[in-house]
A and B are shown apart, each in its own frame.
Chain A
Amino acid sequence: MDLITIAFYFFSALTIVFGAVVVFTKNIMHAAFSLLFAFFGIAGLYVLLSADFLAITQIMIYIGGILVLIIFGVMLTTRITGVDVKTGKIGKIQIGIAGLLTVLIAATLIMIFSTSKWYLADSKPLDSTVNEIGTALLTNYLLAFEAASMLLLIAIVGAAFIARKKH
């Protein structure tokens, strides 16, 4: 195994293990901190795919911004650490059906990923992608880029409305 393969397995394991912790833990603080490592693992995977810009964005926005916000959100709400995420009971039948579905979907996905012929792009020499992404965003994807800004504006208006006190 070369170094890149080892790094790949390391980051994958990091993402999956901490992703599982996020889902299964009952303590909301643990979940928030595990999310940090899961995001970091994904950033590592982006680096291995030589998607440098994406990796940095992942770290800056998800870890630096969103996650810190989540942790603050959890800490600022009243009862800090002792809050159980899960409440109520789930019946055995529901667990059974959910489990069955999960196994079925997972099996299908694994089969598809291992057997399908995937589209392979021509490999390019390693280079910074920032320039290309910037050009694409302002030419071929101009509309998507601008529409996303409109989406954010709508989201801010909505969030401000929800957060505002009644008047």
Chain B
Amino acid sequence: MMDISDLIKSISLFKPETTLIVTFMLAMILDMAFKKSKNIAGYIAIAGLVIAGIFLFQQTGVNYKAFANLLVIDSFGQFMKFIVLMSSLIIIVFSFFSNELHNAHTKLGEYYTLIIGMTFGMFLLVGSANLIMIYVAIETMSISSYVLAGYTREVKRASEASLKYVIFGAVSSGIMIYGISILFGLTGSLNLFEINQFLSVNNVATLPLLLSGLMILSGFGYKISAVPFHFWTPDVYEGAPVTITAYLSVASKAAGFAVLLRFFKTGLLDSVPGTSEAWQLLGNIDWHYVIAVLAVLTMTLGNLVAVWQTNMKRLLAYSSIAHAGYLLMAVSVMNDNGVSAVLIYFVFYMLMNLGAFFVVQLIANKLDSENIDEYNGLGYRSPVLAVCMTVFLISLAGLPPTSGFIGKLYVFSSVINSGYIWLAIIGVLNSVVSLYYYAKIIRNMYLRDVESAKTKLVFSPVTIAIVLMLAIPSLLFGVYFTPIVEWANYSMNIFVGN
């Protein structure tokens, strides 16, 4: 039973989320009050996110099980929440410059409001330590993202994207909640800490535990678009507004990975031999291999299918599936080094992926197309943008001297240190495949249509500045990555609470 002092402390640690809720309401009300101003809700959202970020920063070093163990506040959660927060902020800024959103609607109040709602859902998901909370949080973020994916609903493919997203989402939540019910039936608890204690004392049959685990994984796998739960990804990414596509590919993946790691470490970690070198998991199931197989499937399918894509959004969709595969590889080693690698990778992935999507958005604003052939001669039509795009793509491919290389380096070294050489080799082979399709875009930009007679594309200085603000760190972190690595190492301990 929760006592009052716990409640008071919990509420004081819930300030970032409370700020988001207040922002949600304010954005909605003020959007109605100021009918003239188009982006008022967006400015409020930015202010709210910044304040939430300050409150989040104040929680540095706190390890606490809040609200009667429903929510965990720890440095791992803080790190992931910062990723979510940063990408929400960047996406809102992107949205100010999106032609497709502004053409479809005279006002974007609900759009910014729902982004805040989704951020709130992801914040909850990152901290949840109870299966009910996990479910409620996943639904909160899903429902906001269903609406956002179809936001330009007069465009046919956006409606289609939204509908597909809803149907796949409903099925995977259904499977997940079925798995939760089996786990509850086995252990008699929904709380990850209590499940952990029950499993460490009692012997639970392997098959039901495996089945329930797989079913719960399908819910998380859907959020991070891991194969075989990825079917929605290409269509939704292609149909949704570019800003939302970028948002789904970074923030909702971050939240999905956070809950995946927390589920394993909090729910299944055997704390008796507990070292950070390798987590001993309860039950006789080799979860390493389950996740490793998922990782191999995810990155291989993502990379191989991406090769054939001609639409930039679809290509980046498959590339984001492949990146989920690399990240799963780091999850599969199941130790604190793996967690740290996931965190490091996410910072860089956020920069480069959001950057690439923003370039796609800017090009689509001018040319009204996302076809890869439209990028022919871009190096001459808009040199700055093309250089930045090249940086993002090289970074996504994981070549030095970009930050993507450092991210991949940490992922692969965590895999090799744990002795999964075969997994690392598959990962490297995949990176080679990915190089092909990323290089294809660079080739189009610089080697095709060289003597272009087409007019130069002129972008406003503000948008160019935003692209540079993403491109320069992508390069800079490639050579000076110590702060990020230190921050990740500081945050890699998921609080299991003893």
Judge if A126 is at the interface, Cβ distance under 8 Å: no
Q: Which residues of A contact B146 (CB under 8 A)?
A: 158
Chain B neighbourhood of A148, CB < 8 A: 136
Interface residues of A in 112-150 (CB under 8 A from B): 112, 115-121, 139-144, 147-148, 150
Cα–Cα distance between A147 and B121 once the two chains are bound (Å): 9
CA distance A158 to B111 in the complex (A): 9
Known: A147-B137, A151-B139. A140 touches B2 (CB 8 A): yes
Closest Cβ of chain B to A151, distance in Å, is 5
Apart from A143-B70, A155-B143, list 8 A-B contacts with CB within 8 A: A139-B1, A147-B124, A150-B140, A151-B136, A151-B140, A157-B28, A158-B144, A161-B110
Q: Is the beta-carbon distance between B188 and A121 smaller than 8 angstroms?
A: yes
Residue of B70, B110, B143, B208 touching A112 (CB-CB under 8 A):
B208
Q: Is A167 an interface residue (CB 8 A)?
A: yes
- Encoded as 1 (CB less than 8 Å from any A CB) or 0, chain B from 144 to 158 comes to 101100100110000
A116 close to B208 (CB less than 8 A): yes
Chain A min CB distance to B58 (Å): 20
Shortest B164–chain A CB gap in Å is: 15
| Residue in B closest to A108 when the chains form the complex, CB atoms | B211
Residue of B nearest to A117 (CB): B205
With a cutoff of 8 Å between Cβ atoms, the chain B residues found around residue A155 in the complex are 143
Q: Is the CB of B110 within 8 A of A115?
A: no
Does B387 sit within 8 A of A, measured CB to CB? no
Q: Do B136 and A162 touch across chains, with their CB atoms under 8 A apart? A: no
Q: B28, B132, B207: which contacts A144 (Cβ < 8 A)?
A: B132
Give per-residue flags for B189-212: 1 if the beta carbon is below 8 A from chain A beta carbons, else 0.
000000000100000110110010
Q: Are B186 and A139 in contact, with the CB atoms below 8 A?
A: no
The answer, among A115, A121, A154, A160, for a CB contact under 8 Å with B143, is: A154
Query: B71 at interface (Cβ–Cβ under 8 A)?
Result: yes
Write the residues of chain A forming the contact surface with B, with a CB cutoff of 8 angstroms. Answer: 108-109, 111-112, 115-121, 139-144, 147-148, 150-151, 153-155, 157-158, 160-162, 166-167
Shortest beta-carbon contacts, A-B, top 10: A119-B188, A158-B147, A143-B67, A154-B117, A140-B68, A161-B110, A143-B70, A151-B140, A112-B208, A116-B208
Inter-chain CA distance A117–B188, complex, in Å, is: 12
CA distance A121 to B186 in the complex (A): 11
**Interface residue from B7, B140, B205, B207 paired with A154 (Cβ < 8 Å):** B140
22 contacts between A and B (CB under 8 A): A108-B211, A116-B186, A119-B184, A119-B187, A119-B188, A119-B198, A121-B188, A139-B1, A142-B67, A142-B68, A144-B70, A150-B21, A150-B120, A151-B121, A151-B140, A154-B121, A155-B143, A157-B113, A158-B114, A158-B147, A160-B110, A162-B153
Closest to B21 in A: A150
Q: B204 — which chain A residues lie within 8 A by C-beta?
A: 117
Q: Is the CB of B1 within 8 A of A116?
A: no
A162 to B71, CA, bound (A): 32
Name, among B7, B71, B140, B198, the residue most crowded by chain A CB atoms within 10 Å (CB to CB).
B140
| A contact patch SS | helix
Q: Establish whether residues B207 and A112, one from each chain, have CB atoms under 8 Å apart when the complex forms.
A: yes
Within the assembled complex, what's the spacing in Å between the Cα atoms of A161 and B68?
Answer: 36
Inter-chain CA distance A26–B99, complex, in Å, is 43
Are the C-beta atoms of B117 and A157 separated by less than 8 Å? yes
Q: B182 contacts the other chain (Cβ, under 8 Å)?
A: yes
Chain B residues with Cβ under 8 A from A157's Cβ?
28, 110, 113-114, 117, 147
Q: In the complex, what residue of chain B is closest to A159 when comparing beta carbons?
A: B147
Are B2's CB and A142's CB within 8 A?
yes
Q: Which residues of A contact B153 (CB under 8 A)?
A: 162
Shortest beta-carbon distance from A35 to chain B in Å: 16
Q: What chain B residues lie within 8 Å of A150 (beta carbons)?
A: 21, 24, 117, 120, 140
Contact indicator A112/B140 (Cβ below 8 Å): no
Residue ID in chain A nearest B130 by CB atoms:
A144
The answer for the CA separation of A118 and B183 in the assembled complex, in Å, is: 10
List chain A residues, Cβ under 8 A from B70: 140-144
Encoded as 1 (CB less than 8 Å from any A CB) or 0, chain B from 243 to 276 comes to 0000000000000000000000000000000000
CB distance from B118 to the nearest CB of A (A): 8
Which residues from A are CB-within-8-Å of B400?
Answer: none
Contacts of A118 in B (CB 8 A): 185-186
**Is B130 a contact partner of A112 (Cβ separation < 8 A)?**
no
- Write the nearest CB–CB distance from A62 to chain B, whole angstroms: 16
* Cβ-based interface call for B133 (8 A): yes
CB distance from A101 to the nearest CB of B (A): 12
Q: Within 8 Å CB of B67, what residues of A?
A: 142-143
Q: Which of A112, A121, A140 contacts B182 (CB 8 A)?
A: A112
Assess whether B132 is in contact with A141, with CB atoms less than 8 Å apart. yes
How far apart are the CA atoms of A162 and B114 in the complex, in Å? 13
B205 touches A162 (CB 8 A): no
- The closest CB in chain A to the CB of B133 belongs to A144
Asked if A162 and B133 sit within 8 Å, CB to CB, the answer is no
Name the residue on B nearest A109 (C-beta): B211
Q: Mark B90-121, 1 if CB is under 8 A from A, else 0.
A: 00000000000000001000100110010011
A116: B residues at CB distance < 8 A? 186, 205, 207-208
Report the nearest A residue to B136, measured CB to CB: A147
CB distance from B449 to the nearest CB of A (A): 38
| Chain B residue nearest to A119 in the complex (CB) | B188
Which residue from chain B places its CB closest to the CB of A136 in the assembled complex? B1
- Structural contact, A139 and B2, CB atoms closer than 8 A: yes
Chain B residues near A141: list those with CB within 8 A: 68, 70, 132
- Structural contact, B143 and A144, CB atoms closer than 8 A: no
> Per-residue 0/1 for B210-246: is the Cβ within 8 Å of any A Cβ (1 yes, 0 no)?
0100000000000000000000000000000000000
Cβ–Cβ < 8 Å partners of A140 in chain B: 1-2, 68, 70
B34 to nearest A CB, angstroms?
A: 16
Q: How far is the CB of A153 from chain B (nearest CB, A)?
A: 8
Shortest CB-to-CB span from B196 to chain A, Å, is 14
